[in-house]
Structure 1
Amino acid sequence: MKHKLLKTLKVLAFFALGMVIFWLVYKDQDIKRIESILKNDVNYFWVWVSLLLGLLSHVSRTIRWAIMIEPLGRRPRTLNTFLAVMVGYLMNLVIPRMGEISRCGVLARYEKMSFTKLVGTVVTERIIDVLMMLVLTLIVIGTQFGKLIQFLDNNPEVKQKLENITFSPVAILSVLGVVVLFYFFRQKIRHSALFHKLHEILQKFGEGLRTIQNMKNKWAFIFHTVFIWLMYYLMLYVVFFAFGFTTHLTAIAALTTFVLGTFGMVAPVQGGIGAWHFMVIQALVVYGVSKADGVVFAFLAHSSMTAMLILMGLVALLILPFVNRRKEESL
């Protein structure tokens, strides 16, 4: 009971943090002006194109996950895999980082697979995605270094946080402390029941991680990895054409905005609310877009993406029991 209460309070705290950031971003804005722009000055064709590209990225992520699961000796139904992915996105909007666990749980239940092994495949996915994000970040640093410096100069609080994370003595001492404790008590730790249980879990977990070594369709995996991130980028870029004040911006400006916005998504708040808006708005300011216009852009881009994930996630939750009813009745 206490654990559930603490978990609930943690979720509410993260949500409150996101809403506070969101409020700080929008509190001084002219709401009537925002409403007027959204009603009269937006080419919604490009918003629908953005949502289509987002859907393609989710389908591609489904196929890539299936490729990773195949070395485990199972071929889950494509529909179940897709619906599990959409439930995962929905759960990320409720509890940060819960989506990965949720989609593994859904697929494990309806396909009768090992939950731990599935988590291993998702961790591998996340490692690959982090590498992709690193590549895009290096491209932005290499081509837009001056703009990034300007971004940090415009936002000294972000610059200070980066310096604190990089040179934090608390973090360094904590890591050293854990290493020292493990070294002196390693024999007791290795013979404990908890260690053996963790070892068993890690073995299954490792099987999931090793799927990338044993997969047959490595080129298909690489293709879908690149395609997913291309769709993510284009999903934001095409929204630039929906507004007169961003339609002139270059593809590299969109990439910079995308990368900085993605870092906002890393913040422990549901769906990056507030943090994503702040990063995207400040990125657009660097490229000459007024803050007032950036606020409108960020609101529409984030709201449309979030609305699609909520809708598709809820639909996935509703239809999962029905598409698997016949299978469960036969057991």
Structure 2
Amino acid sequence: MPRLRSLLPALASLALAAVLLWLALRDADLAGVGRALADGAWGWVIPFVAVGVLSVVVRAWRWGLLIEALPSRPSADLRLTTASVFIGYLVNYAAPRLGEVARTANVARNSEATFSGVLGTVVAERLLDVVALALALGAVALTYGGRLASVWEAFAGGARALAGSVPVGAGWAGLAFLAVVVAGVVVWLRRRSGGGAGRVRALLDSFRDGLVSLVRTGRPWALLGSTVLLWACYVLMSDLPLRILGLSGAYGLGLGDAGAIMAVGGVGMALPAPGGTGSFHYATVQALTLLFAVAATPAATYAILVHAAGVVLYCAFGVLALVWQGTSLRDVRAEAREAAAP
């Protein structure tokens, strides 16, 4: 039974990824995708890798500012936080959202900070990203107006199509099953927390300390500057693949357009699919085809290239981080699951 509980979320995530990937690529000519990739201007890969690594270092430095603002004032070495971010990305490709726990556990194990406190800083850091993404989407809405509405309508249409393909009886059965699962989780949590109210309160206090590190750093301009630089890196990482595939010239796409593609793709990355597989592809293809009238095949080629480049980049450096620390992915995942269990 415990093994089944751990498998169900993974299977649901894989199913979501498969459906969205099919929706993203169904109108594309896969042979044409292969030809476009073969003819790409691959010299742009070098700056892409450089900017990708820089984005991780900037994120790690910003995260370190929050960790050092915890009440215990632990030291957050940039090498440790950078390695932890890479390891977190690597774990995310195998188990969605467990990467955040993995990088938290890695820092807590190698520093004087508590797990719950560091986890609070991760949430605080993600709040910064949510605000930045919201501002980016707001800028897209102001710039592209009604065209953005067509993207959201495409998302809604895809959801309605999926819902309509499910038989009514199966839909009610699914809702009943979901209700049973939710009730089971509530009962399980109450049993797990029974008799441990003091320990739970202590964990929540530590988590709160991490969350409010946003206002305790005393370095608001450093947080703001690092966040701006981080998202500037993401815009460049969206722009460079356009140049690799020649889409900048063919469709007149510039940095601002790359930022819009990045923002919509960021919404896809937020969905619980393994490393954004399928969800990122679908969101990005919709942004390219509906906002900029890019044909289905080059849009799919771009989505595949950006996602694959990110997977290779982050996984390669994640493995290097594991080797540097003298550990393995299996150990990191086990440590993350153990740390998250309480």
Contact 2:23 2:282 in 1 (8 A): no
Contact residue 60 and residue 227 of structure 1 kept, 8 A: yes
Distance 1:3 1:253, change over 3 A: same
- Residue 257 of structure 2 is matched in structure 1 by 253
Q: Separation in 1 of the partners of 2:154 and 2:15?
A: 25
Partner residue of 1:50 out of 48, 51, 73: 48
Query: What do you get for the CA RMSD once the two structures are aligned?
Result: 2.6
Q: Please say if residues 152 and 159 of structure 1, whose CA atoms lie closer than 8 Å, have aligned partners that are also in contact.
A: no
Aligned residue number for residue 67 of structure 1: 65
Aligned match for 2:306, one of 282, 301, 310: 301
Match of 2:36 in 1: 37
CA deviations over 1:274-329 (Å, ceiling 9, x no partner): 1111111111112121011111111111111111111111111122128xxxxxxx
Mapped contact 1:80–1:320 kept (Cα < 8 A): no
Contact 2:32 2:297 in 1 (8 A): no
Normalised TM-score (structure 2): 0.79
Q: How does 1:128-143 map to 2 (within 5 A)?
A: 128-143=128-143
Work out which of the residue numbers 312, 317, 325 in structure 2 matches 1:320. Answer: 325
Q: Matched residues in 2 for 1:206 and 1:150: separation?
A: 40
Distance 1:98 1:192 in 2: 25
Within 5 Å, which residues of 2 pair with 1:279-290?
279-286=283-290, 287-290=292-295
AA paired with 1:68?
Answer: L
Q: CA deviation at 1:152?
A: 3.7
1:253 to partner: Cα distance: 2.2
Per-residue displacement from partner, 1:160-215 (whole Å, max 9, x unpaired)? 59xxxxxxxx9xxx9xxxxxxxxxxxxx9xx9634433222111111112222221
Determine if the alignment matches structure 1 residue 19 to structure 2 residue 21.
no
Unaligned runs of 5+ in 1: 162-169, 175-187, 323-331
Q: What is residue 125 of structure 2 aligned with on the other side? A: 125
Selected match of 2:221 from 219, 222, 232: 219
Counterpart CA distance in 1 for 2:160 and 2:255 is: 29
Question: Shift in Å at residue 107 of structure 1?
Answer: 0.9
Structure 1 residues 201 and 155 mapped into 2: Cα distance closer, same or farther (>3 Å)? closer
TM-score (normalizing by structure 1): 0.82
The farther-off stretch of 210-219 and 121-130 is 210-219
* Structure 2 runs not aligned, ≥5 long: 162-174, 180-189, 328-342
Task: Give the partner amino acid of 1:49.
Answer: P
Q: How many residues are treated as equivalent by the alignment? A: 297
Q: State percent identity of aligned pairs.
A: 28
Amino acid at match of 1:215: T
